[in-house]
Amino acid sequence: MIDTDAVPQVRRVVTAIPGPKSAEVLKRRTEATSGGLGMAFPVIVEKAHDAIILDIDGNQIIDLGAGIGVTNVGNSAPRVVERVIAQVQQFTHTNFTTAPYENYIEVCEWLNKNTPGKFAKKSVLVNSGAEAVENAIKIARHFTKRQAIVVFEHAYHGRTNLTMALTAKNMPYKEGFGPFANEVYRVPMPYSYRYEGNLAKITEESLEHIIHKIEKEIGAKNVAAILIEPIQGEGGFIVPPKGFLPGLQKFANENHVLFIADEVQSGFARTGNLFACEDENVVPDMVITAKGIGGGLPLAAVTGRADVMDSSHVGGLGGTYGGNPLACAAALGVFETIEEEKLVDRARLIGGILTARLTEMKNKYSVIGEVRGRGAMQAIELVKAGSKEPNPEAMAKVIKHCQQNGVLILTAGTYGNVIRFLPPLVITEALLNDALDVLDAGFAAL
């Protein structure tokens, strides 16, 4: 067992951020690591447990990012740690397509059972969200014998070549990294806060426009798949209006187009359902998962209709590390934690606190233009007071204030003006409220 007492669940700032020890190591970071890597929070981590990160200067930082929506069950969650330790003593690797092992199969069984849809399903395991997206597209094209992929404005699907093509935002994801894969078609995303049509009809108008584009510009019979995040992550936690996802799914089903949900950021209890699609009973043909599935170990999956998942020839899918036994052991610990700690309910409770407190801040501070999201996946969009003009400067100041006071909060958004909240679902209410007090003070200080 890990020594959880070593990381008490309380915020404690004992040096400037970064402290002197972190600053020393960060110099080596600059010397040794690629300049292409960003850094959201400038400290060096010593330990982390649940929702507190302890740095090498002794600062205890509240983690409202969960490693970008990964450690939903908490950092070094006990059930994950125990299972990984047991597995590492058994064997570390064989490659599932060389000599298979049981925990890979158990992870797939859990996914087949617990992702939306009651039909027969199968899964394949890989290493990262981007790799899972790549595999879903491979499978969709192979199954439908069609090539076109429809994606959305503000979408994020990864950093590999195909997934850069699927991702919307140029800076920093795509600039100078082309050429990109072809047969990718982007359609508008109904972004209600910035919608220019008749807001009361946003769902109908958007669906009509998108379907018109697909039929006239691509040809529905050429479309292999529609790929969408049920709540957009990096794009700024854009929640599609009610009826939009079911409408898209209906169009897809009627046209033998596969409907693929990228639940990489929204999955694993995050939104107050196991998967965000469940909110409107949307049943995708394929679901892509990653991040939260492994509790911090690298794992990702594609789960889908058995006929679709079986369409590839033997040997068409694979990879050296996909479904590594340590990552699968971790995933089984994650599934157990979600169930036993009732993390779906906890996400709703956290959601209630976030909505209430962020709305209260919106009423006090005119730079907060909108509070949105669902469950423990919520965000605020910052604008210049009295307008909807993006306000990345205010965002930077507030984030800096939080940083100096030991609160790690991530940003997002096409316009670089969204503060997003992705706390570990095991965060205590006291810790969450303490972090939100710091945020509130950050706005007051603007």
Residue 293 sits in the site that holds ligand PLZ (CB under 6 A)? no
* Residue from the set 57, 229, 285, 381 that interacts with ligand PLZ by CB under 6 A: 229
Question: What's the number of CA atoms in the CB half-sphere (13 Å) around residue 355?
Answer: 12
Residue 129 sits in the site that holds ligand PLZ (CB under 6 A)? yes
Q: Which helix (H) or strand (E) holds 381?
A: strand 377-382
Residue 331 sits in the site that holds ligand PLZ (CB under 6 A)? no
CB of 163 to ligand PLZ, least distance (A): 7
Residue 174 sits in the site that holds ligand PLZ (CB under 6 A)? no
Q: Confirm if 300 and 135 have CB atoms less than 8 A apart.
A: no
Rg (the chain; Cα; Å): 22
> How would you classify the pairing of strands 300-305 and 286-289?
antiparallel
Q: Confirm if 70 and 291 have CB atoms less than 8 A apart.
A: yes
Question: Which two structure tokens, joined as six digits, stand for 114?
Answer: 């617990």
CB of 132 to ligand PLZ, least distance (A): 8
Distance CA 278, CA 284 (A): 10
Cis peptide before 18 (omega within 30 of 0): yes
Q: Which is nearer to ligand PLZ, 138 or 362 (CB)?
A: 138
Residue 233 sits in the site that holds ligand PLZ (CB under 6 A)? yes
List the interface residues with ligand PLZ, window 33-72 (CB under 6 A): 68
* Residue from the set 50, 55, 262, 370 that interacts with ligand PLZ by CB under 6 A: 262
* Residue from the set 108, 130, 301, 422 that interacts with ligand PLZ by CB under 6 A: 130
List the interface residues with ligand PLZ, window 263-282 (CB under 6 A): 264-265
| Nearest of 128, 139, 135, 126 to residue 97 by alpha carbon | 126
Residue 227 sits in the site that holds ligand PLZ (CB under 6 A)? no
Distance CA 193, CA 381 (A): 9
Q: Which is nearer to ligand PLZ, 133 or 220 (CB)?
A: 133
CB of 69 to ligand PLZ, least distance (A): 7
Q: Which is nearer to ligand PLZ, 264 or 439 (CB)?
A: 264
> What are the angstrom distances between the C-alpha of 219 and each of 94, 181, 223, 316, 440?
44, 19, 7, 28, 50
> Residues in the site for ligand PLZ, rule: CB under 6 A?
68, 128-130, 133, 156-159, 229, 233-234, 262, 264-265, 290
